[in-house]
Amino acid sequence: MLTLHTKLEHADRIDGELILPYELREKSRLRAALASGEDVAVFTVRGTVLRDGDLLKGDDGRVVKIRAAQESTYRVSCPDTRTLLRCAFHLGNRHTQAQVGDGFLRIRKDTVLREMLEGLGATVSEENAAFEPESGAYGGGHHHHGDDHHHPLAPIPLRQKIHRPSDKA
């Protein structure tokens, strides 16, 4: 079994793709299958979050590109910037992971959050999309590929509670 363990900044060639939902890209230890069907083990530094386009080198020298899987999400759009900011504030207040897009937010499907957002004036629509939430104030910044700005931040505290739709109230 191929073991992927070293994150690379760039590679001359790509030997495979590993398509994972965000929930699995947050794990530092997992078994999965490449797009080709080959089984792989992923061992990354604890706290590492794999992003779409990241490269991992295997124990045999092969390089695998990470791809964000399409997942069930909600796209949150608003009639104005103030309403969108209010929605972002209330999601953050609940420690909800959110992706910030150009004029929209994206979150995992959660009917309770949908009702709250609609009550704030947002339009919430279901979509299958790659989910790339912000890493948070302590998560090391969120790097968009092609973005040359790096924002180094402190590592995320291990005990910080992040709300996920699967969490029971």
Residue 137: predicted pLDDT: 59
Q: Where are the alpha helices (H) located in the chain, listed in sequence order?
A: 22-25, 81-93, 111-119
Domain boundaries, the chain: 2-68, 71-130
Express each pLDDT in 96-105 by its tens digit. 999 999 999 9
Regarding the domain delimited by 71-130, which CATH topology (the fold level of the hierarchy) does it fall under?
Answer: Alpha-Beta Plaits (3.30.70)
76, burial (CB in 10 Å: exposed 0-12, middle 13-18, buried 19+): buried
Length of the chain: 169
Distance, in Å, from the CA atom of 110 to the CA atom of 30, rounded to the nearest integer, reads 25
131: three-class secondary structure by DSSP: coil
Range 2-68 classified under CATH 2.40.50.140: no
The residue behind tokens 């060639």 is 13
Q: How far is it, in rounded angstroms, from Cα 133 to Cα 6?
A: 23
For residue 142, pLDDT over 80 is answered with: no
Residue 92 has pLDDT above 90, yes or no: yes
pLDDT digits (tens, 9 = 90+) for 38-75: 999 999 998 899 999 999 999 999 999 999 999 999 99
